[in-house]
């Protein structure tokens, strides 16, 4: 794991609403350069809302979000991507009628550096050889695991400094879950910082350096991933251990 010391992302006392419902009630988290940081918690704890607050889809009403020292609290989604944050969304959201190759190209739509785009396409195919085999196939005909690979690959095509992954293992067969997590570690080793939202707390804490446990829109616990794995409350509630 390549850990820099620079603070890359900082959320301070973030309050985000859906209409009149307060989904985030003053969340503070930070991600340092080179880390894998994971957010774990039950459904409705605010994990996806935290990502939506960062990527510009749901601006906080209070609090601040800074990325590499710049205030992005009210930035638009496309300017957030331009600054270097890309997300592989929950439920994958591929373009089903487009080929794997075209879906990956969509990830680079804000880039003009053809050579770099080609290099990144090669890198994605190296990470996911299966996508290379299926590159002309329509994304809608892929298995769930292959679609997840394609969604992560598409996010990587933006060449992000920070990659946000929302529930990458959801609905996948165990063999694919393993493969996806191996790839997350590999992508991080290659220098990309990762913020990982994951229902599979055990796998997430295995690969992360630090973790935050969210409960109903607040941070209930924050610690090194190893310490969270040992934490009795975490083991009972999220790791399914008695």
Structural domains of the chain, count? 2
Is residue 108 classed as helix, strand or coil in its secondary structure? Answer: coil
Which H or E run includes 123? helix 114-127
Overall residue count recorded for the chain in this entry: 242
Which H or E run includes 83? helix 77-83
Whether 5 and 69 share a structural domain: yes
Last residue of a domain, one of 159, 187, 204: 159
Whether 54 and 73 share a structural domain: yes
Whether 139 and 44 share a structural domain: no
Provide the domain limits for residue 67: 1-84+162-242
Whether 4 and 112 share a structural domain: no
User: What b/e sequence results for 99-125 when a residue is b if at least 16 CB atoms lie within 10 Å of its CB, and e otherwise?
Assistant: bbbebbbebbeeeeeeeebeebbebbb
Q: What is the CATH number of the domain that holds 233?
A: 3.40.50.300
Whether 26 and 113 share a structural domain: no
Last residue of a domain, one of 135, 159, 183: 159
* pTM higher than the cut 0.85: yes
Instruction: Convert the pLDDT of each residue in 44-100 to its tens digit.
Output: 899 999 999 999 999 999 999 999 999 999 999 999 999 999 999 876 789 999 999
Instruction: Convert the pLDDT of each residue in 143-171 to its tens digit.
Output: 988 999 999 999 999 999 999 999 999 98
Dihedral angle at the C-alpha atoms of 212, 218, 220, 223, nearest 10 degrees?
30
User: What is the separation of C-alpha 53 from the centre of its chain, rounded to a whole number of angstroms?
Assistant: 13
Last residue of a domain, one of 141, 159, 177: 159
For the four alpha carbons of 45, 47, 50 and 52, in that order, the dihedral sign comes to negative
């Amino acid at each position: 794991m390549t850990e820099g010391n620079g603070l890359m992302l900082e959320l301070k006392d973030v309050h985000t609403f859906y209409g009149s419902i307060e989904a985030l009630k003053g969340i503070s988290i930070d991600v340092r350069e080179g880390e894998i940081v994971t957010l774990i918690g039950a459904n409705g704890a605010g994990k996806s809302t935290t990502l939506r607050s960062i990527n510009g889809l749901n601006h906080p009403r209070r609090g601040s979000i800074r990325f590499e020292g710049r205030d992005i609290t009210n930035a638009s989604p496309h300017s957030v991507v331009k600054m270097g944050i890309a997300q592989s969304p929950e439920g994958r959201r591929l373009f089903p009628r487009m080929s794997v190759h075209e879906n990956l190209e969509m990830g680079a739509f804000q880039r003009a550096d053809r050579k770099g785009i080609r290099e990144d396409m090669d890198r994605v195919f190296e990470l996911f050889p299966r996508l290379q085999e299926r590159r002309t196939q329509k994304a809608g005909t892929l298995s769930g695991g292959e679609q997840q690979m394609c969604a992560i690959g598409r996010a990587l095509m933006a060449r992000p400094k920070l990659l946000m992954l929302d529930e990458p293992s959801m609905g996948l067969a165990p063999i694919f879950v393993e493969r996806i997590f191996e790839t997350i570690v590999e992508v991080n080793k290659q220098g990309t910082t990762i913020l990982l939202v994951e229902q599979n707390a055990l796998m997430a804490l295995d690969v992360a350096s630090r973790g935050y446990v969210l409960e109903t829109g607040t941070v209930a616990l924050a610690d090194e991933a190893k310490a969270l794995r040992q934490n009795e409350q975490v083991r009972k509630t999220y790791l399914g251990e008695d």
